[in-house]
């Protein structure tokens, strides 16, 4: 089995109302934890690499680790570039064997976003690689976004249709109130499901993507704080909202912060409880298990992609 694209995955996910987890990977233990969960749940996976991850790990190491994960598990795995800034980084990933790239032109004007996305789509499709675009800007940490600013930053449903038609993208990341990181909402989590429903209706059958979808799991925040961390006010997207999004045409749900928290909370606890230890394997092994358990929970109880291969 070699890398696959997300085409079939998204088709099945859309038809059956579930989502594929797209997990950010930065090192071996993270990859192993995620794919072990995928193996137990018989779930396809998207492993995504950010520009920061490429810089941290040197892309060849991550690519080879993902190849090893496929050889080891036989799972259908997509290797995806997360938040590609420009044509060059997308091309570099396509040329080095990624099966999917995201071109994030959301900081540009509508026309410039279309131009750069189309350029990436043309190159990617000529090599059999799929492309995710983004329209609208993910919310900042301020909650209760006013209607006028909401209209300026959240995805406009009519523009979404035009964007998909003119660029030829294979999936589209939409902005409906999520944001990256551990501080997504100040008080009550809220997503614009009305807008999502309109986009889904207008783009009937077309796969949507939700970024900034970590739940910021309270047990990991509490554990971080119990063992010397300082994460006051951390808050994410509740799991029932993710389930709802998955039933409404969202086929890819991006998770990074929950992986970071699971890993850091476990390492914090271990090192405080075992101050005499200095063998990295001693704290990385439980961190890897914590990632596996967290991802398995997401696949089984939130995303709904178990037993879909
Ligand atoms: O969307 C952002 C992801 O969480 C990746 O974060 O750029 O720090 O690797 P990063
Ligand atoms: P979180 O920060 O909510 O995990 O979002 C990750 C993401 O969107 C990666 O592209
Ligand atoms: Zn993102």
| Closest listed ligand to the CA of 253 | 2
Q: Could you identify the atom of ligand 2 that is nearest to the CA of residue 24?
A: 9
Q: Inform me whether the pLDDT recorded for 146 exceeds 80.
A: no
CATH number, position 193: 3.20.20.70
Q: Is residue 139 part of a domain?
A: yes
Decide: 214 in ligand 2 pocket, CB within 6 A. Answer: yes
Q: Is residue 309 part of a domain?
A: no
Q: Is residue 148 part of a domain?
A: yes
Binning the chain into helix, strand and coil, the percentages to the nearest 5 are 50, 15, 35
Name which residue sits closest to atom 2 of ligand 1, judged by CA.
180
Q: Is residue 308 part of a domain?
A: no
Q: Inform me whether the pLDDT recorded for 296 exceeds 50.
A: yes
Decide: 181 in ligand 2 pocket, CB within 6 A. Answer: yes
How far are the Cα atoms of 43, 192, 270, 286 from residue 277, in angstroms, in the given order? 36, 47, 9, 14
Q: Is residue 2 part of a domain?
A: no
| Residue 82 bears catalytic tag | yes
The sign one gets for the Cα dihedral 295, 260, 225, 265 is: positive
Averaged pLDDT, 178-198: 96
Name which residue sits closest to atom 1 of ligand 2, judged by CA.
212
150 pLDDT band, cuts 50/70/90, is confident
User: Which residue in the list 72, 82, 104, 170 is annotated as catalytic?
Assistant: 82
Q: Inform me whether the pLDDT recorded for 65 exceeds 80.
A: yes
What is the structure's pLDDT at 148?
A: 65
Q: Is residue 64 part of a domain?
A: yes
**What's the pLDDT tens digit per position in 205-250?**
999 999 999 999 999 999 999 999 999 999 999 999 999 999 999 9
Record the tokens describing residue 160, joined without a space: 């979404």
Q: Is residue 291 part of a domain?
A: yes
- In angstroms, what is the span from residue 83 Cα to ligand 2's centroid? 10
Instruction: Give the total number of structural domains in the chain.
Output: 1
Pair type for strands 171-174 and 130-135: parallel
Q: Is the pTM of this model over 0.75?
A: yes
| Closest listed ligand to the CA of 82 | 2
In degrees, rounded to 5, the angle at the alpha carbon of residue 301 between the alpha carbons of residues 25 and 32 is: 25
Report the residue among 49, 83, 252 best suited for mutation to probe ligand 1: largest number of ligand atoms under 8 A from its CB.
83
Q: Could you identify the atom of ligand 1 that is nearest to the CA of residue 212?
A: 1
- In angstroms, what is the span from residue 26 Cα to ligand 1's centroid? 10
| Domain hosting residue 200, numbered range | 7-303
Report the residue among 22, 23, 24 best suited for mutation to probe ligand 1: largest number of ligand atoms under 8 A from its CB.
24
What is the structure's pLDDT at 147?
A: 58
Averaged pLDDT, 269-280: 98
What is the structure's pLDDT at 143?
A: 47
Mean pLDDT of the chain: 96
Residues with CB under 6 A from ligand 1: 24, 50, 52-53, 82-83, 180, 256
Q: Is residue 32 part of a domain?
A: yes
Q: Inform me whether the pLDDT recorded for 144 exceeds 70.
A: no
CA distance 256 to 245: 18
């Amino acid at each position: 089995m070699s890398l696959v694209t997300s085409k079939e995955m998204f088709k099945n996910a859309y038809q059956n109302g579930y989502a594929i987890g797209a997990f950010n990977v930065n090192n071996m233990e993270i990859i192993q934890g995620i794919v072990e969960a995928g193996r137990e749940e018989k779930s396809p996976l998207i492993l995504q690499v950010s520009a920061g991850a490429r810089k941290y790990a040197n892309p060849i190491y991550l690519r080879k680790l993902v190849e090893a994960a496929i050889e080891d598990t036989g799972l259908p795995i997509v290797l995806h570039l997360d938040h590609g800034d420009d044509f060059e980084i997308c091309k570099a990933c396509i040329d080095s064997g990624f099966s999917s790239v995201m071109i994030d032109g959301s900081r540009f004007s509508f026309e410039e976003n279309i131009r750069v996305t189309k350029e990436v789509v043309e190159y990617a499709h000529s090599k059999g690689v799929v492309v995710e675009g983004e329209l609208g800007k993910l919310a900042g940490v301020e909650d209760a976004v006013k209607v006028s600013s909401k209209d300026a930053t959240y995805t406009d449903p009519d523009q979404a249709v035009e964007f998909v038609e003119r660029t030829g993208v294979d999936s589209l990341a939409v902005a409906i109130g999520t944001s990256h990181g551990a501080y997504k909402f100040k008080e009550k989590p809220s997503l614009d499901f009305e807008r999502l429903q309109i986009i889904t209706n207008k783009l009937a059958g077309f796969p949507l993507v939700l970024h900034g979808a970590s739940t910021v799991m309270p047990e990991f925040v509490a554990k971080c704080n119990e063992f010397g961390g300082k994460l006051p006010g951390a808050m994410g997207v509740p799991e029932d909202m993710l389930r709802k999004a998955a039933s409404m045409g969202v086929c890819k749900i991006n998770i990074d912060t929950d992986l970071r928290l699971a890993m850091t909370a476990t390492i914090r606890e271990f090192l405080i409880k075992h101050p005499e230890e200095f063998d990295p394997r001693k704290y990385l092994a439980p961190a890897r298990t914590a990632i596996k358990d967290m991802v398995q929970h997401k696949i089984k109880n939130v995303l709904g992609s178990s037993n879909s291969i």
